Amino acid sequence: MSLPASTSAPMSASTRASSASLRRIIKHAALLLLGWIMVYPMIWLFFSSFKTNADLFGSVSLWPSEFVWDSYVKGWGGTGQYSYRTFFFNTFLLVVPTVLLTVASSVLVAYGFARFKFPLRNLMFILMISTLMLPHTVVLIPRYLIFRNLGWLDSYWPFIVPAAFGCFPFFIFMLVQFFRGLPRELDESAVMDGCSPPSILFRILLPLCLPALISAGIFQFIWTWNDFFNPLIFINSVKKFPLSLALRMSIDSTGGNVEWNQILAMSMLAILPPVLLFFFSQKYFVEGIATTGIKG
């Protein structure tokens, strides 16, 4: 015997609502699981910084069986005559100018490619993009020879000076895509109001480019902060070591008797600045990544 239409309709709506709720629960559970998988290494690193060596290698438990409370204090003291205060200062001294100059130079070059027509523009843009295809090892020896002849070895100039001259084509390409997504009517209106090209860039376009600029800055900050290979090649003095080299030196200088809780404690402190930077600017970062692919 079939049910009346008035009875079957509410049951169908209830079934759809239950199905939608089940899908939401499954989706949130999957996101929570994925988030836990991504965050677990940092959680493990934090708790492992309080473990002894025996507990670290002899147990798979996340919670330490015996807390070592002085790992951060002893680790901060570093090795030899330099503490991690020096290494953190060196890292910021290297990273901050590199990031600021990278963003500034990339904006100027991208603005030229996106808004002006000049001879050989397309060819120059193709050459600029083609440098992305070059492996880093191909240009390492020429760069080293150039910086050696300039007397820049064992300094931060090999990182800062190239950043000031638009030597990062990835960020130029990203900002070109963002500029192309902005309507040219903005430029035309500004010209009618008497604005020059620099005024158009700094007063009209740059405020609209804030998400893309923050995205470029975050990328360059994280890449430069985590860079190990280039500082290893160009920096020789321990007093100028960034954190990446300092952590490696802390392992090598112990003569095999490594206090891993101190190494992990300093590693935990070393990853905090990039994590906090991304956390507080993730809104602009996501917006910048979503909009740099728009083409006008």
What does the mean pLDDT of the chain come to? 86
What pLDDT score was predicted for residue 295? Answer: 42
Give residue 177's identity as a one-letter amino acid code: Q
Give the C-alpha separation, 218 to 233, whole Å: 24
CA distance 137 to 64: 42
Closest CA to 158 of 247, 240, 249: 240
**Sequence-ordered list of residues with C-beta below 8 angstroms from that of 79, at least 6 positions apart, any chain:** 249, 250, 253, 254
- Cβ neighbours of residue 260 under 8 Å, at least 6 residues apart? 48, 51, 53, 56
Sequential DSSP letters for the chain: -PPPHHHHHHHHHHHHHHHHHHHHHHHHHHHHHHHHHHHHHHHHHHHHTTS-HHHHHH---SS-SS--TTHHHHHHT-BTTB-HHHHHHHHHHHHHHHHHHHHHHHHHHHHHHHH---TTHHHHHHHHHHGGGS-HHHHHHHHHHHHHHHT-TTSSHHHHHHHHTT--HHHHHHHHHHHHTS-THHHHHHHHTT--HHHIIIIIIHHHTHHHHHHHHHHHHHHHHH--HHHHHH---GGG--HHHHHHHHHHTTTT---HHHHHHHHHHHHHHHHHHHHHTHHHHHHHHHHTT---
pLDDT score of 10: 52
Low-confidence ranges of the chain (pLDDT < 50): 1-3, 5-9, 293-296
d(CA 100, CA 102): 5
Q: So what's the pLDDT on residue 137?
A: 84
The predicted pLDDT at position 59 comes to 80
The burial class, CB within 10 Å (0-12 / 13-18 / 19+), for 164 is middle
Closest alpha carbon to 204 in 216, 214, 215, 192: 192
